[in-house]
Structure 1
Amino acid sequence: MSATRHSKPAERVGGSGHKPSKPEADGPTFNHLLQAWLESHRASLVDSLRRLLKQPIGSFFTCLVMAIALSLPMGLSLLLKNVERLGGSWQRAAQISLFMQLQASPQEAEQLRAQIAELPEVAAAEWISREQALEEFQQQSGLGEALKELPENPLPSVILVTPEKVDKANLEALRLRLAELPKVEQAQLDLVWVERLTAILKLGEHFVFGLSLLLVLALLLVIGNTIRLHIENRRIEIEVIKLVGGTDSYVRRPFLYMGALYGVGAGLLAWLVLAFGLDWLNAAVVKLAGLYGSDFSLAGVPLADGLSLLLGAVLLGYIGAWLAVARHLNELAPR
């Protein structure tokens, strides 16, 4: 009994007979913490993806609703860009026409064109000779045979000035300045067309912006309501997790990944919808343009715009999920 009572620790069951080694550290290392953090995020991502795949029809239709809401403003924006490309740039639509005096020689007109092109307010300047102006007028007016009977060319040479920026006050000031140049008979600018063009573009931009805001709010409501249903289905599980010490960030993480996954699916679907829609519409546009002797066609979805659409969808899904979880997180405390 005495020997047993006073036995050394090394002689007990499981003793090694050696002195205990010095502990390596006073807690987990940074690598261990990083690995645990990455493993937690990986598990949350896999769990969220698995739950979405268990309900493929519901997940698909949720992504489809989000995709339609995303594709509407992006599609309108792409159509505006194509229409602007069809009509030419709006700087070119605001050209100032300088009609030269009839006695101005081609050398004087070219020298004046080069002088105007160097102005900081001018983006480009193009000289059209009298012969070229007459030829274009014959082709466009249909009076070619009648104009050939004229004793001499009545049309002056023209310098077309494209401004750097389109602004009514600046354009009028530039027109007055160019009208005072030597050998210039008249400087003409269609300010009414400039104002109409500016108003049309701004109206389209405001409409797309307003529609985008409304659809963003609708997307947040859709994703928030969807995440709320997932939270209700897992209420008991979440309460147990919080009961054993699970943090709010741990509870929130899988739902955030779920929202981001909804965003990925919606962004890819929206990209496909836009690509298919523009391609389907392009056939009718090409046929119509061919009737007017034009080779115009709609441009597809640029890669940068498609990636921006995908990134925006992921962010909207993430934000919507975060708002939904933040709203219901306090209600999930264990009872």
Structure 2
Amino acid sequence: MGFKEELQKLSVQVNERMVHISNEETTKQSLIIPFIQVLGYDVFDPLEIKPEYVADFGKKRGEKVDYAIFKDGSPIIFVEAKSVNEKLSNHDAQLCRYFNAVTEVRIAIITNGTEYKFFTDLTADNVMDETPFLIVDLLNLRESDFETLLRFKKESFDKEFLVRYAEELVYTSTLDNSLKELFKNPDDEFIRYLIRDVSSSRITSSVIERFRPIVKKAISNAVIDIVSKGLYQQETESNAIVGKEDELEAIKAAGEPTANINSTKRAVVTSEDELNSFEYIKNVLSKADKDITNLNYKDTTAYFSIYVVNTTKWFLRLNIDGSIKNVITKLPLTEIETIVSEFKTELAPKSFGESRVIINAVDDIKKLDQLIISCYEKLMN
């Protein structure tokens, strides 16, 4: 069962269970613990989940947070639990004290088992923000929630990345609201800015009022036009030019002729060898007790990339359709030389990775088990 399906199943369970819950302790056991489990943490391992974690702050001693989630021996998330019948807005100050007490923790959650509020410290370092950067309602999951919560899973948790992501969410939300208000009720300065090259007369208050309904209509038409044509059309076209350079380098790396690259468009065709290789790599990691829940692939004209959660978190890139077959990694060349001494190794092409292993046939991938595991561990550590 995938992460999305697990969350959807939990959503149904929460809806069924909540009517039978009347206190905080039952809320923890029936609603909150299952949520932490879905995120991939072992709730029965005291090295990962520490209930009633002591977080002393200033003169207040013996302050305890309901759950501290640990990874690699350090706390990464605080979870403050309340009864499913309580509103969360009354308890943020308490969580703030916990958060401020342990400076290495950058993510804090307050929840009543149905609603989850996520906090960090964007305004001032080690001081929890007054407002959450993310609110998730398990009873009304949005499509965006699945991708967002995926970033909090144990195997993909990256504290610094999440803080940057939180900042992006906050600013995007703020700008989104500002733009909506501006487009709905454009102020005088905005109208003045828009009509400065349109109106030949002096822009007075009466001129602004005359143009106000015209500006509103123009904004409405522009938004409709953007939606209908696709906001990213121009970006896609410009990226195609940049991508051509990468494609040329990839073809060179694969040992293919490049004379006709400008006249022939290469289509992305995922081969059976690539799919079989992906399944083999999954099997190797599974046997090594690695979490493959979010393992996926993306095929391009440049390479067949294998990643975790999102395409930026890749750990192997395969070039096995060309005459020169190779496996690209993020490991330093000196490191892979010791892991796969029987194969030729070299620096990877610029912008593709750190190093690559030259293989003679697709089946040679079956001789790279240790390399596969090492690349995965490098990504996850």
* Class of the TM-score when normalised by the shorter of the 2 chains: under 0.3
Query: Could you tell me the TM-score, scaled by structure 1's length?
Result: 0.23
The structure richer in helix per residue is: 1
Query: Could you tell me the TM-score, scaled by structure 2's length?
Result: 0.21
Higher-Rg member (1/2): 1
